[in-house]
């Protein structure tokens, strides 16, 4: 199995810390190591360095090399333009199928917290073993929800279609976009829904065949890249054709349209650190529900997240339900339950601040 860590996103909902020049995966948000380094470290028991790849933007390659000096140079999959996860997944499949015909890919995020890495690796191995008898199946890792969260997508699981290493494999009935509060509560109470972690295991050839069926124009470009990769000339072809690809998420391009999708139910202490309010899933809070990072003075503050540095005092007086982020050149203040709207700030700003 080949392991691809997708590290090309910008992380707009974690502005102003996450910027185009240094997105969230290159920051140490939850511990001593950056999120990218943690994504690699949690695979230590399963992946050899020869089998580990990082997919990222050309402009971010220097950050990858700084943080992962052990990564083989040829194992950096470089995107010359931002085109969302659809083209990114297509690119990794085209390149790896050309280099390793018949390979299985675990396509993983770089911005997740996983508190149970051993269990995570075990489930990846279960997915790999399941593909021996279900080569056309796409496997998505589903996470058992712990609350009615409106910030995640959901997977509706169906019947058990197999047991692999004593682990039940569920058919996927449907995917649900981020729900409103009432729908999220219904999903949680039903016991039939999982959070969609956007981490996948599949055969590269199967995914390319699905591109051929559902996104033929993108597939034609991916075929050009794959053909060039077989003779070691992919760099120029990628630079030429990748920017022509449709800007589309892999969910909309392939996953939601594929005929054979299965999921595993994971209990891995997972959180997608996609927005400022999600940090409370991972980092400790005080008795008033505050998460305080930096030089913070709190006088009767409640349910507030602060992310600053030691050089500036941030004083909170009689406030609640806030996000306060200070990076020196930018200051964000928003209600904690409005964390998803930070991406709208980025959309409204000019290039100097994003």
Give the angle subtended at the CA of 182 by the CAs of 251 and 147, to the nearest 5°.
Answer: 75
Residues 6+ apart with CB under 8 A from 216: none
Question: What pLDDT score does 151 carry?
Answer: 83
pLDDT tens-digit series, residues 235-260? 999 999 999 999 999 999 999 999 99
Nearest to 36 by CA among 60, 2, 1: 60
Average pLDDT, integer, range 141-169: 93
Query: What is d(CA 97, CA 204) in angstroms, rounded to the nearest whole number?
Result: 6
Six token digits for residue 119: 């269990």
Q: Which residue intervals of the chain bear CATH 3.90.550.10?
A: 2-274
Phi then psi for 46, rounded to 5 degrees?
A: -120, -35
Query: What is d(CA 306, CA 293) in angstroms, rounded to the nearest whole number?
Result: 6
pLDDT tens-digit series, residues 281-318? 889 999 999 999 999 999 999 999 999 988 999 999 99
Question: What pLDDT score does 198 carry?
Answer: 92
pLDDT of 340 above 90 = no
Query: What is d(CA 152, CA 178) in angstroms, rounded to the nearest whole number?
Result: 5
Determine contact, residues 56/78, Cβ cutoff 8 Å. yes
- In angstroms and rounded to an integer, the radius of gyration of the C-alpha atoms of the chain is 21
Which pLDDT band holds residue 11 (cuts at 50, 70, 90)? confident
Give the angle subtended at the CA of 3 by the CAs of 43 and 77, to the nearest 5°.
Answer: 125
Average pLDDT, integer, range 149-176: 93
pLDDT tens-digit series, residues 50-94? 999 999 999 999 999 999 999 999 999 999 998 999 999 999 999
- Point out which residues pair with 5 in neighbouring strands: 54, 108
Determine contact, residues 41/52, Cβ cutoff 8 Å. no
Determine contact, residues 221/164, Cβ cutoff 8 Å. no
Give the angle subtended at the CA of 171 by the CAs of 170 and 173, to the nearest 5°.
Answer: 125
Question: What pLDDT score does 60 carry?
Answer: 96
**pTM (predicted TM-score):** 0.92
pLDDT of 351 above 80 = no
The tally of CA atoms less than 13 A away on the side-chain side of residue 76 is 23
pLDDT of 327 above 80 = yes
pLDDT of 227 above 90 = yes
The CATH homologous superfamily for domain 2-274 is Spore Coat Polysaccharide Biosynthesis Protein SpsA; Chain A (3.90.550.10)
pLDDT of 350 above 80 = no
């Amino acid at each position: 199995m080949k392991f691809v860590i997708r590290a090309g996103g910008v992380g707009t909902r974690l502005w102003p810390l996450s910027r185009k020049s240094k997105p969230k995966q290159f920051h140490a948000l939850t511990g001593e190591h950056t999120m990218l380094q943690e994504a690699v470290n949690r695979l230590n028991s399963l992946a050899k360095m020869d089998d580990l790849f990082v997919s990222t933007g050309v402009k971010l390659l220097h950050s990858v090399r700084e943080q992962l000096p052990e990564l083989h140079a040829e194992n950096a999959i470089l995107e010359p333009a931002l085109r969302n996860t659809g083209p990114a997944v297509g690119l990794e499949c085209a390149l790896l199928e050309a280099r390793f015909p018949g390979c299985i890919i675990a396509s993983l995020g770089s911005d997740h917290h996983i508190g149970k890495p051993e269990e995570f690796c075990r489930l990846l191995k279960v997915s790999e073993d399941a593909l021996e008898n279900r080569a056309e199946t796409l496997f998505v890792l589903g996470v058992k929800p712990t609350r009615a969260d409106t910030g995640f997508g959901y997977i509706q699981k169906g019947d058990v279609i197999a047991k692999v290493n004593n682990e039940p494999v569920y058919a996927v009935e449907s995917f649900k976009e981020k729900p409103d509060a009432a729908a999220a509560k219904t999903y949680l109470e039903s016991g039939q829904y999982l959070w969609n972690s956007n981490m996948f295991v599949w055969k590269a050839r199967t995914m390319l065949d699905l591109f051929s069926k559902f996104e033929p124009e993108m597939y034609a470009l991916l075929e050009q890249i794959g053909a060039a990769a077989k003779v070691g000339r992919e760099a120029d072809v990628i630079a030429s054709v990748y920017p022509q690809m449709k800007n589309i998420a892999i969910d909309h391009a392939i996953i939601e349209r594929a005929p054979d999708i299965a999921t595993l139910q994971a209990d891995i202490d997972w959180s997608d650190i996609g927005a400022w309010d999600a940090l409370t899933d991972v980092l400790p809070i005080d008795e008033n529900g505050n998460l305080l990072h930096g030089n913070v003075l709190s006088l009767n503050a409640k349910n507030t997240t602060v992310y600053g540095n030691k050089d500036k005092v941030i004083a909170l007086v009689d406030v609640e339900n806030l996000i306060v982020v200070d990076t020196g050149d930018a200051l964000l203040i928003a209600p904690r339950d409005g964390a998803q709207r930070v991406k709208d700030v980025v959309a409204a700003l000019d290039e100097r601040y994003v």
